[in-house]
Structure 1
């Protein structure tokens, strides 16, 4: 697990614990996270390529997105920098800094699956948003069905 991903995970946990029971006590910046990309499945390997975007109105120092699968990951994974395995079917990746109305770093994952399924449901969402208020969660929450054809499925 890379230091940046660990920092995001730890900070997210502290924010959740520290803010429990204090609804409305702290209001962070307002930002609108969005994810755009594509997914493809070929013979037990799932490719996920995406670009996180911040549609504003405030910049974010970092956020963490989550990729959840309907099938188990293989035991051995070689993940992109800033990404970490978060469970049997989950990977989290930090976005890096996202300026107001700008993009984070491009994220590419080649995930080895335990089996060779004919299809995989891929869910992409925000795991931690840097403490921001996001009034439009529809553009950062995606569900994609990828068939084992090698075709790209866009989101």
Structure 2
């Protein structure tokens, strides 16, 4: 019986196989031995199997048709109360997206009046959202350029960029679509 337990422990669906063995063994016995239901299990065996299963990571599932890896790359600069944001959305696949929406959040308030690029709208006193347009698999969306006027000049501003909506697609890699950039009021560009 010990060899069977070792094989079960190496299997990805350990608990299901063990439960099946216990049910089958309990009903008919194993190779002429008394039924497993009559034999007490090894001390702590169920606990050991449960702990082992919890420690092993689940195998990574194959990508689905509604999975994409959206990312943003660009630059931010701040000069005398004017914040410039230029970025390009990118999709590393495995599926294309018909559209997505990115969000730009600021640590400073925006001026009341803004002239925003096509496909962009103000979503709050410190927020703007923009559509990316179609994101082909392993391709780029439209270039997005924003010139945002701040309510009052500040020495620095933190700009946070992330995905606000992606059509319900799953994205396992969030590291390339969540950025926080500190821009100083020097006119210098800060890349992300």
Which structure: larger Rg? 2
Which ranges in structure 1 are unaligned for 5 or more consecutive residues?
Answer: 1-26
The superposition leaves residues 102-142 of structure 1 with CA deviations (integer Å, 9 ceiling, x where unpaired) of: 00000000000001000000000000012101000110000
Q: Show the counterpart of 2:128.
A: 91
**Structure having the larger proportion of residues in strand:** 1
TM-score (norm 1): 0.82
Q: Which structure exhibits the higher relative contact order, with contacts defined as CA atoms closer than 8 Å and separated by 6 or more residues?
A: 1
After the TM superposition, which segments of 4 or more aligned residues of structure 1 sit over 4 Å from their partners?
none
Q: Show the counterpart of 1:148.
A: 185
How many residue pairs match? The answer is: 129
Q: Show the counterpart of 2:105.
A: 68
Query: How many angstroms does 1:28 deviate by?
Result: 6.3
Q: Show the counterpart of 1:126.
A: 163
**Alpha carbon RMSD of aligned pairs, Å?**
0.9
**Structure having the larger proportion of residues in helix:** 2
Q: Show the counterpart of 2:143.
A: 106
CA contact (8 A) 2:88 2:141 kept: yes
Which ranges in structure 2 are unaligned for 5 or more consecutive residues?
Answer: 1-63
TM-score (norm 2): 0.66
| SS across alignment from 1:138 | helix
